[in-house]
Amino acid sequence: RFDHHCPFVANCVGAKNNPYFVGMIAAETMNLVVAGLMLLQVMYEGIAEPRVYLGISRMLVSVVCWIFLVPLLIIGCAFLSFALYRIAYNITTNEQVNHERYGYIFMKPYFNRFDRGWAQNCINFWTLADDKPLRSQL
């Protein structure tokens, strides 16, 4: 079951590697959160004890890092929430973007005959459960 081609990992994402792909997105987002917390600590220490290294203030370096970190964190959270939404509704990126091509997906109101409820969809996704009995209804 094809999901999409990801240019960031230079690979196609499908049924067998999608949980690992979502795990990678979650790990990267968590890394950005940890980096942000570490920067907050450095900024706090910079206020308490101002230091200068090679003529550059710790506070200045922290602010510059935050300028780069915040957009990356927003993008990471957006990708992660998009992926979790797709898992909950048992829909691929390809199906969501090209829903007008598929007769079994309606967006207003949302209907997907492969949707088994968010709990069962999540269980099937993370355990790589096979949904062949449902696909035979096509």
Reply yes or no: is the peptide bond before residue 109 cis, omega within 30 of 0.
yes
21-30, 57-66, 102-111, range with greatest mean pLDDT? 21-30
In this structure, the dihedral spanned by the alpha carbons of residues 121, 24, 15 and 117, taken in order and rounded to 10 degrees, is: 10
Is the pLDDT at 76 greater than 90? The verdict is yes
Identity of the amino acid at 21: F
Average pLDDT of the chain is 82
Q: What is the mean pLDDT of residues 48-66?
A: 77
**pLDDT band at 132, cuts 50/70/90?**
low
What confidence score (pLDDT) does residue 130 get? 61
